[in-house]
Structure 1
Amino acid sequence: MSGPRGSLVGQQLRVATTRFAHGGHAVARDDDGRVVFVRHALPAEVVQVRVTRGKAGDRFVFADVEAVETANPHRVTPPCQYAGPGGCGGCDLQHADLGYQRELKAQVVAEQLSRLAGIERDVLVEPVPGDVDGLRWRTRVEFAVDREGRAGLRPFHTRDVLPIDDCLIAAEPIIDSGVLRRRWPAQRAVDVIAPSGSGSAADSESDPGSDPGSHPGSPAAVLVPVPGGVKQAPEVTEHVASGPWSGDITVDARGFWQVHPGAASTFLDHVLGELDPQPGERALDLYAGVGLFARALADLVGDEGAVLAVESDERAVVAGERDTARVEQLEWRAERVEQALEPLIDGGDEVDLVVLDPPRAGAGAPVIRQIAQLSPRAIAYVACDPAALARDLATLADAGYELDTLRAFDAFPMTHHVECIAICRPSSAIRG
């Protein structure tokens, strides 16, 4: 029986799962043939579930596991006491062993490429150096704060706060900072950052007698209380060391940076190795953030080359310009990517290399077509969403560019998220 206005929320079902879907759910069908996306389930299981979202007449509903009757052989007891149905919403794969998590992510990437771009590829999801069996890797965590001032994390798709005393995917300096032992009155949230370089400590109204950036055992952690309004965050320094390039980068503590400690160096090393920038070449770093790729490209193309970094976040651009003030071949533009590319296309410009690291929604067809009009010899696409990547690869194919190589990285262990780096080249170059 359905609830008010046909709602199915709360209805209990017994289903058999078949496969794993993009978004972190196992897929099943109920007795009426309706698709059920089941959180905290794995393929090839028989589970009892409770519907969490959906109404009568929907083609699909969402549900969460209540009991497992037949378990996948790769199911394990989650290492974190807060993971699982009704618990923290951050980790959705702790109930699978780490190797199987990567197999599931590889299947998802391959499925999205096939379904959305017509690309058939065997995919291997590779570990990223810096975690401990998939734990203690997250160097940036935003903890929500409840009405009593306790820091915690939110259950899946709720605004509730679950107070916790540890987060097993958080880097040790995050927990050692004392953020979970203290009260944060009048704060909406508190960000904690464990930078690979140095950091400036933020003021704390809740404990004026202590320095929140220098708790015993955690000199690197930076705590940033977040009141109801906008708060100016401190800056931190991240150190990057890849094969061709190394350096320090200034980052807003609340700005974008890869949260896995090995991700930035791993991604940079792979991108530079594939693109092989040459002296005198022209390159674009789109959705540049603070310029991880732009700075390395500028050094490698040298004084005779040119690099344009485009980023809509003005604070990131300010930090990037300050850090690279003496790098004359690197230009920054604080605007949307499509706006920055228009004058290049209108002027008949061409570039040699393009790196893009767009947000989860992807670059989108208009930007992809603009990139192709600039005739780069190689494009490196860094993607945090395989479906968005696949859609953009399909557009690139229509514009004369094919996928050359693809690597997938487990930069978010214990979650369904996966990072991919696709290298595309003109179809004529790949076909010889």
Structure 2
Amino acid sequence: MKDSTSRKEARQEPHDEEWLRVESLDLDAQGVAHKDNGMVVFIEGALPFEEVQLKVHRRKNNWEQGTVTAIRKESSQRVRPGCPHFGLHPGACGGCKMQHLDAAAQVAVKQRVLEDNLWHLGKVRPQNMLRPLEGPAWHYRYRARLSVRHVVKKGTVLIGFHERKSRYLADMQVCPVLPARVSAMLMPLRALIGSMDARDTCPQIELACGDAEDGSGLGAIALVLRHLEPLSAADVARLKAFSATHEGVQWWLQPKGPETVHLLEPGGLVLAYRLPEFGIIMPFKPTDFTQVNAHINRALVGRALRLLDVQPQDRVIDWFCGLGNFTLPLATRAREVLGIEGSETLVVRAMENLERNRPAVPGRGALAPTRFVARNLFEISPAMLVADGAADRWLVDPPREGAFALAKALADLQQQDELPRNGWTPPRRIVYVSCNPSTLARDAGLLVHQAGYRCTFAGVVNMFPHTAHVESIAVFDRA
């Protein structure tokens, strides 16, 4: 259903003359309708409650997929897209999927996706739905991986995202989801790469933006240039000249794997983000994992800690802790914090950030005793949970794969009396931050039906406006 269709195949498919009423949106932001014979139809560009015709691209025994060609009854929530490169036309950018839907309606769709996943996959109904966590709908994307291609036939360099369902790059001149200064830099970047000797051997620029030192907005703009061949002295000079004429830009070079990334010119602005509610500053490298949406991340950390309701006497474990995005704020509230992460590199970076923030600053005291350990969190066992010691509260923030092994180990400890506990007790409350509603639902099912928890709160976090990506947060309390 989700595979690409070549342009040639798409042109050969006939138009479907039947008018269909769209019932809902799926996880890929496609309209879902049914034909009179019961066949499911997935329609790109269609919105719920619209009556549409489509051009079919793929047919299977029990479903079809196509693109809207005509709308007889339009949704009241359809809006004009904010980006000139968005749409269903040839060459349209594939970076966003929902710009034609009102921003508030996008959030409502994501909330429904979360509720449906929790019930259909985990048989869990939250006792309370949280108000969606929202932020700016534009210029929010502080991280991006931009492809680069020198197109000889067109005599130009393209930089940006791929076309919708295509291996070709979109001819992007602006991108309203990137910070305004970065969007305005796209055409100068294209000219820069086009002027370089290495224009055919630079396939990617990774973007990472930091906060200004006073917290007032955008600070350092790190551009990581992947280059397959050594750069000439002339090209290095071109890169330095570009950063000298564009405020905040610092070039990082990546000749091979991520471990080879290094700063071209030492000095300049420090790449960091801030969590002002907790008096925390988080320096990071452009290859470190940080959240795409800095505005939402600040709000998310605040909400997560309020929901966790950490008390001064509590010991807390932060699972999948990364750089310490939640760990260090937790250390401003708890008696003791343990951060556990799968990547040894991130553990080293988290320890550096701990030392950076350990002293007291105006508005907060010194951080509580905190340590970090590296461990494979996809192979965790009940014995490992016991070895880490009891904690009053858990913060869980896994990647898309979820935290199945962790939830399973907790459930096994609750169900199997023969397992040694050595005084270990389960956490009273768990706050689970998720970037995949299906794996959250799976893990919620384990926590509720086998580990003895109730799902007391859940809600969406609109980390990626105009996309179908669903981020969420859920709270589990001991029954």
Question: How far 1:80 sits from its partner (Å)?
Answer: 0.8
- In structure 2, the gaps of 5 or more residues are 152-156, 213-218, 226-230, 264-269, 359-366, 414-424
User: Could you say which residue in structure 2 is the equivalent of 1:192?
Assistant: 207
Which piece of structure 1 moves more, 60-69 or 33-42? 60-69
List per-residue Cα deviations over 1:267-319 (Å, max 9, x = no partner): 111111122223343221111111111112223224xx2x2222223322221
User: Could you say which residue in structure 2 is the equivalent of 1:272?
Assistant: 305
User: Could you say which residue in structure 1 is the equivalent of 2:477?
Assistant: 425
**2:164 is aligned with 1:156:** yes
TM-score when normalising by structure 2: 0.77
**Are the structure 2 counterparts of residues 196 and 343 from structure 1 closer, same or farther at C-alpha, using a change threshold of 3 Å?**
farther
Q: State how 1:260-339 maps to structure 2 within 5 Å.
A: 260-302=293-335, 305=336, 307-325=337-355, 329-339=369-379
Are the equivalent residues in 1 in contact too, given 2:334–2:368 (CA < 8 A)? no
User: Could you say which residue in structure 2 is the equivalent of 1:26?
Assistant: 31
**Are the structure 2 counterparts of residues 51 and 146 from structure 1 closer, same or farther at C-alpha, using a change threshold of 3 Å?**
farther
Q: State how 1:9-408 maps to structure 2 within 5 Å.
A: 10=13, 12-13=15-16, 14=18, 15-30=20-35, 32-52=37-57, 54-57=58-61, 59-85=62-88, 86=90, 87-120=92-125, 123=129, 126-129=132-135, 131=136, 134-148=137-151, 149-177=157-185, 178-183=188-193, 185=199, 186-197=201-212, 199=220, 205=231, 206=235, 208-211=237-240, 214=243, 216=245, 218-219=247-248, 221-224=249-252, 230=258, 232-233=260-261, 237-241=271-275, 243=277, 245-302=278-335, 305=336, 307-325=337-355, 329-339=369-379, 342-347=382-387, 349-364=389-404, 366-371=405-410, 373=413, 375-398=426-449, 399-408=451-460
List per-residue Cα deviations over 1:224-275 (Å, max 9, x = no partner): 56667556335863333353x1211122312321111212211111111122
Q: Flag the structure with more relative contact order, 1 or 2, with Cα contacts below 8 A and sequence separation at least 6.
A: 2
Q: Give the distance between the partners of 1:289 and 1:10, measured in 2 at CA.
A: 47
List per-residue Cα deviations over 1:16-61 (Å, max 9, x = no partner): 3111223322211245432222222111122233344x4533x334
Question: How far 1:68 sits from its partner (Å)?
Answer: 2.8
Are the equivalent residues in 1 in contact too, given 2:163–2:170 (CA < 8 A)? yes
Which piece of structure 1 moves more, 321-330 or 311-320? 321-330
Q: Give the distance between the partners of 1:16 and 1:401, measured in 2 at CA.
A: 41
Q: Give the distance between the partners of 1:44 and 1:360, measured in 2 at CA.
A: 31
User: Could you say which residue in structure 2 is the equivalent of 1:430?
Assistant: none
Q: Give the distance between the partners of 1:203 and 1:23, measured in 2 at CA.
A: 30
> Which secondary structure does the structure 1 equivalent of 2:132 belong to?
strand
**Are the structure 2 counterparts of residues 260 and 278 from structure 1 closer, same or farther at C-alpha, using a change threshold of 3 Å?**
same
Q: Based on CA coordinates, which of the two structures has the bigger radius of gyration?
A: 2
Count of residue pairs brought into register by the alignment: 412
Taking only the aligned residue pairs, the percentage that are identical comes to: 24
> Which secondary structure does the structure 2 equivalent of 1:195 belong to?
strand
Are the equivalent residues in 2 in contact too, given 1:48–1:67 (CA < 8 A)? yes
Are the equivalent residues in 2 in contact too, given 1:193–1:223 (CA < 8 A)? no
Are the equivalent residues in 2 in contact too, given 1:124–1:407 (CA < 8 A)? yes
Q: Give the distance between the partners of 2:244 and 2:35, measured in 1 at CA.
A: 52
Q: Give the distance between the partners of 2:244 and 2:52, measured in 1 at CA.
A: 45
Would you identify which runs of 4 or more consecutive aligned residues in structure 1 move more than 6 Å? none
Are the equivalent residues in 2 in contact too, given 1:48–1:68 (CA < 8 A)? yes
> Which secondary structure does the structure 1 equivalent of 2:118 belong to?
helix
Q: Give the distance between the partners of 1:135 and 1:403, measured in 2 at CA.
A: 32
Question: How far 1:215 sits from its partner (Å)?
Answer: 5.5
Q: Give the distance between the partners of 2:52 and 2:403, measured in 1 at CA.
A: 38
User: Could you say which residue in structure 1 is the equivalent of 2:417?
Assistant: none
Question: How far 1:405 sits from its partner (Å)?
Answer: 1.7
Which piece of structure 1 moves more, 245-254 or 351-360? 245-254
List per-residue Cα deviations over 1:394-430 (Å, max 9, x = no partner): 1110111111122322221111223211111101xxx
Question: How far 1:376 sits from its partner (Å)?
Answer: 0.5
- In structure 1, the gaps of 5 or more residues are 428-432
